[in-house]
Chain A
Amino acid sequence: MKKVIKMMSCEQFELLGLDMDRPDAQPEEAAAAAEHAANCAGCFAMLESWRELKQDLRLLHEHTRLESAPTRVEMRLKQELRTRREARVPRSTVAIATWALAAAAALAATIGWMHWRDGISNHTDTTSLQVAAVVQNNAVPTLDALLLTADYDTGEFTQLPGSMPTASSDESVLQARVQRGALVQFGLPVAPEQAAEWVDVDFLVGEDGQPLAVRLHQDASSESVTQ
């Protein structure tokens, strides 16, 4: 190796010689290059040119060594970091809200289904009662049976089976005089013996036209029957 370096040619000098001033240069290589440059005018001239250029490169290095990204880059990155941090909080909130809504919907559906099921069973009961009313048209009414249908003169409406309570103000009251037996179709139980009685009824009608609740008024003719 040492022998080869001692015999450094111009081509080798071009490849290795300009590294002789570098701190990480091999000492043998540097010595051989220096020796070659001392004996070769062309390579010496190139070495001088390179040293001049190296000085200029060092100037450029010195001139730009403190260059750094402008502060606006740091600001933008901080902003991005904050945006991502803020975006993460609402995401978890949205997830919680979604679960809460889903749970509420499931609960509402369950309650609705239970109401619907109760309505069906009531309807079945009242249908059989209606049949019984036709058969036992002349039976004497009892107070118990009357209370089953609705409250009298309490001023309170009784919720019809299958309808949901509502806070809407768009409801209206419809007054009618019907035979008690007709209340069966609204899901109210009617004692067969009272089916033929005439009663004054207030229907609370929702904005969709469906009756929601009912209130019965005992008229003079029926009063004698109930008491």
Chain B
Amino acid sequence: MKILDEKEPGLLKRAVRGDEQAFLVLYRKHQAPLYRYALRMTGSPWAAEEVVQEVFLLLIREPQKFQPDRGELGAFLFGVTRNRVMKHLERRPREDSLDEINANGNVWREPQDPLTPMMIAEKSERIEQVREAVLELPAEFREAVVLCELEEMSYEEAAQACGCPVGTIRSRLHRGRALLLAKLELLRDAPRRASAGAK
């Protein structure tokens, strides 16, 4: 049987016994979404990197914490990541912004785009404004926006990930959207309507 076809609990057992290939299969499958979530929540590539590293170190050092009968490995890893991110946010609400330097230490460049330099600059500015506005949301609203709008999870998936009812997620998302709208309308000097949620 190919290693990629093997089920995750089996791969994890092998990984814990020191099988590097098995571990890498698990790591490469799960690390990117966890990293993006941590990055979007903390706004810091360094914090996101640290969080992902801690999550997988925990998996190596204390694999018994994952119990396959209680859910999928992905859900377990997301739960651990979420806890770490929340702890990070409690410790340092917002240490640094997602700036030009990405986690690999390279200068962050706009992807090649058939737009004029002016349009590229405008697009970058908009993205940066949205990123800043998302990062300024309170953590629970930010999480709902990140999961439902950026990670494009359904309400059910987001509720499962956060361990709360669907109604709570919808309510948080509603408040998050309202705050985002108010913030961006102010930034862009184009107020259309002040939302009740932002008041």
Tell me whether A77 and B23 are in contact (CB under 8 A). Answer: yes
Residues of chain B contacted by A65 (CB below 8 angstroms): 36
Instruction: Knowing A67-B36, A67-B102, A80-B60, say if A14 contacts B18 (CB, 8 Å).
Output: no
Instruction: Knowing A60-B130, A60-B150, say if A69 contacts B52 (CB, 8 Å).
Output: yes
- Tell yes or no: A24 within 8 A of B by CB: yes
Tell me whether B31 and A49 are in contact (CB under 8 A). Answer: no
CB distance from A37 to the nearest CB of B (A): 12
Residues of chain A contacted by B60 (CB below 8 angstroms): 77, 80-81, 84
Instruction: Knowing A61-B152, A80-B57, say if A69 contacts B18 (CB, 8 Å).
Output: no
In this complex, how many residues of chain A approach chain B with their Cβ under 8 Å: the count is 40
- Tell yes or no: B155 within 8 A of A by CB: yes
CA A65 – CA B28 in complex, angstroms? Answer: 15
Tell me whether B57 and A59 are in contact (CB under 8 A). Answer: no
Residues of chain A contacted by B27 (CB below 8 angstroms): 74, 77
Main DSSP-derived SS at the B contact region: helix
CB within 8 Å of A: which residues of B? Answer: 15, 18, 20, 23-24, 27-28, 31-32, 34-36, 39-40, 48-49, 52-53, 56-57, 60-61, 102-105, 111, 123, 126-127, 129-131, 134, 145, 149-150, 152, 154-155, 170, 174, 177-178, 180-181, 184-185, 192-193, 195-197
CB within 8 Å of B: which residues of A? Answer: 11, 14-15, 18-19, 24, 42, 45-46, 48-50, 53-54, 56-57, 59-61, 63-74, 76-78, 80-82, 84-85, 88
Shortest 8 CB-CB contacts between residues of A and residues of B: A85-B18, A68-B32, A45-B192, A69-B35, A56-B130, A69-B52, A70-B103, A70-B104
